[in-house]
């Protein structure tokens, strides 16, 4: 027990000494590039689904603390917050096979296919806690990032629809007729489904920074990528993208078609973004550490 306390005290002493000798850095940057969803088709659905790349832009502010390890290497942590805006889409196609019985008792075997596109635009806020490393002019960060989308709009559209009703006893196929089911094209609507409120990402950033004259201030350029680890998405109960009701009324012999949404056939999706970060950083240091920050970038 005493040995454990002794080691704990040593660790605290080392941390306290490192903090005292550390270097605090504030930075303001912009990030730009692409973003996309990585979706998976619901297990009950038949077809395919994939994300398409859209644009992504952000403004972020950060605080970092670096402790000297061995010249010119320093390491520490970085806290960040940002806000941005972007757009992307999910595309896919589905196929469904089912049977209806009409009001005369005739079985109708349906085979429906359609392509769909779910386009999204949204603002987002981000908060990150990263491990940070500097080595000469090289700078890199890695760690968890929380992404919170808000003010989202979604547009849903379907195309290349085929509703095939097959009467086996007559060996007749009826395609896209009001009496057996049809959808007016192009079909579009604004969706009301909400995006996952919580998205936990792992962020990786690496690049180069340059000192401004003989000061401790720098400008930097980094490539970045964020990949989703978890989000709060809850798949809706599976429903057919095109559902055709049985013909049940002789006075109005037409089949009603209900168009679902992308959420009805997407079982899960995760987030990915990538691009370049450009930033300006200024150091707030004390003592001897302030004097050699600029030196470690000299050639």
The pTM score is: 0.81
The candidate with the shortest Cα–Cα distance to 241, out of 162, 153, 154, is 162
pLDDT in tens, 29-78: 999 999 999 999 999 999 999 999 999 999 999 999 999 888 889 999 99
| Residue 181: burial class (beta carbons within 10 Å; 0-12, 13-18, 19+) | buried
Q: What pLDDT does 103 receive?
A: 86
* Secondary structure letter of residue 181 according to DSSP: B
> Could you give the CA distance from residue 280 to residue 295 in angstroms, rounded to a whole number?
18
Q: Would you say 275 and 54 are in contact if contact means Cβ atoms under 8 Å apart?
A: no
Please list the ranges in the chain whose pLDDT falls under 70.
1-21, 251, 285-299
Average pLDDT, the chain: 87
Pull the structure tokens for residue 250.
């002789």
pLDDT in tens, 74-104: 999 999 999 999 999 999 999 999 999 988 8
């Amino acid at each position: 027990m005493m040995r454990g306390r002794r080691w704990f005290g040593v660790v605290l002493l080392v941390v306290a000494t490192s903090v005292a000798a550390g270097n605090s850095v504030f930075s303001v940057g912009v990030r730009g590039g692409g973003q996309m969803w990585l979706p998976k088709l619901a297990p009950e659905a038949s077809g395919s689904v994939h994300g398409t790349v859209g644009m992504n832009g952000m403004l972020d502010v950060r605080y970092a603390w670096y402790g000297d390890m061995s010249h010119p290497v320093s390491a520490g942590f970085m806290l960040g917050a940002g806000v941005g805006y972007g757009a992307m889409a999910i595309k896919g196609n589905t196929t469904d096979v089912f049977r209806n019985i009409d009001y005369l008792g005739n079985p109708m075997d349906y085979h429906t296919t359609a392509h769909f596109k779910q386009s999204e635009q949204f603002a987002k806020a981000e908060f990150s806690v990263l491990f940070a490393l500097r080595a000469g002019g090289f700078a890199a960060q890695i760690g968890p990032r929380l992404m919170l989308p808000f003010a989202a709009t979604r547009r849903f559209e379907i195309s290349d629809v085929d509703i095939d009703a097959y009467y086996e006893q007559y060996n007749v196929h009826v395609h896209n007729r009001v009496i057996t089911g049809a959808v007016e094209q192009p079909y579009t609507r604004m969706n009301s489904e909400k995006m996952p409120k919580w998205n936990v990402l792992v962020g990786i950033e690496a690049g180069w920074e340059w000192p401004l004259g003989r000061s401790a201030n720098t400008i930097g350029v980094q490539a970045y990528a964020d990949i989703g680890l978890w989000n709060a998405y809850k798949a809706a109960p599976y429903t057919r993208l095109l559902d055709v009701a049985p013909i049940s009324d002789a006075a109005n012999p037409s089949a009603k078609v209900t168009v679902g949404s992308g959420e009805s056939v997407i079982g899960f999706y995760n987030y990915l973004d990538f691009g370049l970060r450009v930033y300006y950083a200024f150091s707030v240091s004390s003592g001897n550490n302030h004097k050699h920050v600029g030196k470690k970038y000299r050639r």
